């Protein structure tokens, strides 16, 4: 009877251990970039100020979409750089933040302490995050002036990388 229990436990535990071992050492941000050079999934989301924004209405200039949350320490790290970049590029580039798995209250509290020059949109059902294949925050996308996704940065985007993205689009478009 004891051997039977050992065999049953082994049959249950070995596949679980195998799955865990297979997953260790893999970068969760290394999800394939399925949207590259494809039309950006359109969305209409509410802003913190009570209005709405629709991605397809922003055509004509590049759009930087940053998925973030107030509980995310790396998101806080890149916040100031994104604000500076938005101010630098002004009306030639639309920056938007999409709040990921966070409360409106927490986001408002964070933004009261940390100025923001671009709109932040609420994605309460995470449907937009799912459409974009978000693997975690922060995650940043560049949508070109024609509504096509061109770049993706999982994790904190550097100012140098963002500038390369935008200068390539603005200079070559």
Residue 50 confidence (pLDDT) above 60: yes
Torsion of CA 122, 123, 128, 132, to 10 degrees: 80
Which fold would CATH assign to domain 30-172?
A: Glutaredoxin (3.40.30)
The distance between the two most distant Cα atoms of the chain, rounded to a whole number of Å, is 75
Model confidence over 115-163: pLDDT tens digits?
899 999 999 999 999 999 998 999 999 999 999 999 999 999 999 999 9
pTM: 0.82
Model confidence over 75-103: pLDDT tens digits?
999 999 999 999 999 999 999 999 999 99
Confidence of residue 173 (pLDDT cuts 50, 70, 90): very low
Contact between 97 and 120 under an 8 Å Cβ cutoff? The reply is yes
């Amino acid at each position: 009877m004891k051997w039977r229990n050992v065999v049953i436990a082994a049959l249950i535990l070995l596949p679980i251990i195998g799955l865990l071992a297979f997953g260790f050492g893999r970068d969760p941000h290394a999800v394939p970039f399925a949207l590259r050079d494809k039309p950006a999934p359109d969305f209409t989301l509410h802003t913190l100020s009570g209005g709405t924004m629709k991605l397809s209405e922003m055509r004509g200039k590049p759009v930087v979409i940053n998925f973030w949350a107030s509980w995310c320490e790396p998101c806080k790290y890149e916040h100031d750089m994104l604000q500076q970049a938005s101010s630098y590029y002004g009306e030639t580039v639309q920056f938007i933040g999409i709040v990921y798995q966070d409360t409106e209250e927490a986001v408002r509290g964070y933004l009261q302490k940390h100025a923001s020059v671009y709109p932040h949109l609420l994605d309460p059902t995470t449907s937009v995050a799912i459409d974009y294949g978000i693997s975690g925050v922060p995650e940043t996308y560049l949508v070109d002036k024609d509504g096509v996704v061109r770049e993706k940065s999982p994790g904190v985007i550097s100012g140098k990388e963002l500038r390369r993205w935008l200068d390539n689009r603005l200079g070559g478009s």
